[in-house]
Structure 1
Amino acid sequence: MAGRPKIFNEKEAVDRATEVFKDKGYDTASADELLGAMGIGKGSFYLAFKGGKQELYARSIKQFSENFHQKLVDQIAKTDNQIDFIKQLFLGLANGSGCDKERGCYLGNALVQLSDKDEDIKKISAELLRKLQQVFAKAIQKAQEIGQIKSTEDSEILAWHLTNLWNGIHVTKRMESSPKILTSIIELNLKVLD
């Protein structure tokens, strides 16, 4: 017997669970909070997410990652100055306001928290970082071609530098919350784009 058919939208349920994970973190988000936010019962939950909370979290990160990447690609394509857009993206990381939705802090925090503990999260994290690097590399190469930046360094390496900065700033934010200090660190790293 296959059981009762699911009567909820999994994508929407995962989006609602993501909000709980963003607010509480993986470790402190309780099953009751997740189920309440998702609007489903335990039976439906375990039918859809056989791996329980861990599978839900992995799906949350994957779905959020895909949405973040698509939004980033769409936004950068619409701007006249992609290098300035990238700089503003990073400088926005120094200030926590609106961070998760626009700058991917939820993903950065997930990379720091769980990527070394869970193989699925590790794969999702590696894919996210590769995609981020590719977005940066394309923008840098274009900027070099039109003379928008002076650096002749390999665009792929510059893009990995930015990807490392994106990843690293999330680690640093766990120890240092001063927007002034974070801004200084980011500005120093962004000089490669001058």
Structure 2
Amino acid sequence: MARKREFDVDQAVDRAMDVFWRRGYAATSLQDLTSALGIGSGSLYAAFGSKEKLYGLALARYTSRNAAQLVAELESAKEVRPALRAVLMAMAEADLCDPDRGCMTVNAATERADDPDTAAHVSATLKLVESTIAGALERAQVRGELTADKNPAELARLLTTFIQGLRVMGKARAGREFVESAVDAAMRTLD
């Protein structure tokens, strides 16, 4: 008979997410994970199968939370420009407050680009971001916030790419003045 699990799996994934986010996949040891989760290696393997599978769960947790915030902000926005600027500045602010962590999606894309599961997950997340922005810009165009000569799909692709660069610059400690200026320039593409 299998023993009853004596730890909260969701809480363990959250803790693992923090470790992987701060240290990266390669620099995170099994000891780092078991210490952070407060469990033994046997329990970790029994619950998650492997470090790699736990990483996948942690990355999925991170991207679903962050994507959900972006989707909620942009889909509920009465005016797209201020909502989009607020989303961009919130990302920049997160990086300014804790540049060591940066964005876990960017970290995953750069560290584990050769892992098919990670690459697929990052790609799906970026497509969700792009489609959410495109949808918001299409609604803005219908409401007259965006001129008819603008292509929402192209702008969404540009802004999705900009977001990833913004996150990299945050990790590179570009500073508040730099990121605010960059966000202002990105917002001017909507003029």
Q: What TM bracket, shorter-length normalisation?
A: 0.7 to 0.9
Q: Unaligned regions of 5+ residues in structure 1, if any? A: none
Is 1:137 matched up with 2:134?
Answer: yes
1:157 matched to 2:154: yes
Matching residue's letter, 1:127? A
Distance 1:12 1:176 in 2: 30
The runs of 4+ residues in structure 1 deviating greater than 6 Å are none
Question: Which residue of structure 2 lines up, in the alignment, with residue 76 of structure 1?
Answer: 74
The alignment status of 1:192 with 2:189, answered yes or no, reads yes
Give identity over the alignment, percent: 26
**2:19 touches 2:32 (CA, 8 Å); kept in 1?**
yes
Q: How does 1:1-194 map to 2 (within 5 A)?
A: 3-50=2-49, 52-95=50-93, 96-97=95-96, 105-114=103-112, 116-150=113-147, 152-194=149-191
1:138 and 1:163, CA in 2 relative to 1: closer, same or farther beyond 3 A?
same
Pick 1 or 2: higher relative contact order, CA cutoff 8 A, min separation 6: 2
**Residues 96 and 173 in structure 2, CA contact (< 8 A), matched pair in contact too:** no
Q: Which runs of 5+ in 2 are unaligned?
A: none
> 2:141–2:147: 8 Å Cα contact kept in structure 1?
yes
Structure-2 separation of matches of 1:35 and 1:192: 47
User: What is the CA deviation profile of residues 122-147 of structure 1, one whole-angstrom value per residue up to 9, with x for unaligned ones?
Assistant: 01000000100111011100111111
| Equivalent residue letter for 2:108 | A
Taking a change above 3 Å as real, the CA distance of residues 152 and 10 of structure 1, as seen in their structure-2 partners, is farther
Q: CA deviation at 1:120?
A: 0.9
For the residue of structure 1 that corresponds to 2:32, the secondary structure is helix
Q: Structure 2: which amino acid aligns with 1:79?
A: A
Q: CA deviation at 1:98?
A: 5.6
Q: Which amino acid aligns with 2:136?
A: A
| Matches of 1:78 and 1:139, distance apart in 2 | 9
Q: CA deviation at 1:150?
A: 2.7
Which residue type is aligned with residue 138 of structure 1?
Answer: G
Normalized against structure 1, the TM-score is what?
0.83
Distance 1:181-1:169 versus aligned 2 partners, 3 A rule? same
Query: Cα deviations across residues 78-121 of structure 1 (Å, max 9, x unaligned)?
Result: 33223211112213343325679xxx82223322322x131111
1:157-190 deviation line (CA, Å, top 9, x unaligned) = 1111111111222233344522212222232222
Distance in 2 between residues matched to 1:179 and 1:86, nearest whole Å: 18
Alpha-carbon distance in structure 1 between the residues aligned to 2:73 and 2:88: 14
Q: Separation in 2 of the partners of 1:45 and 1:151?
A: 54
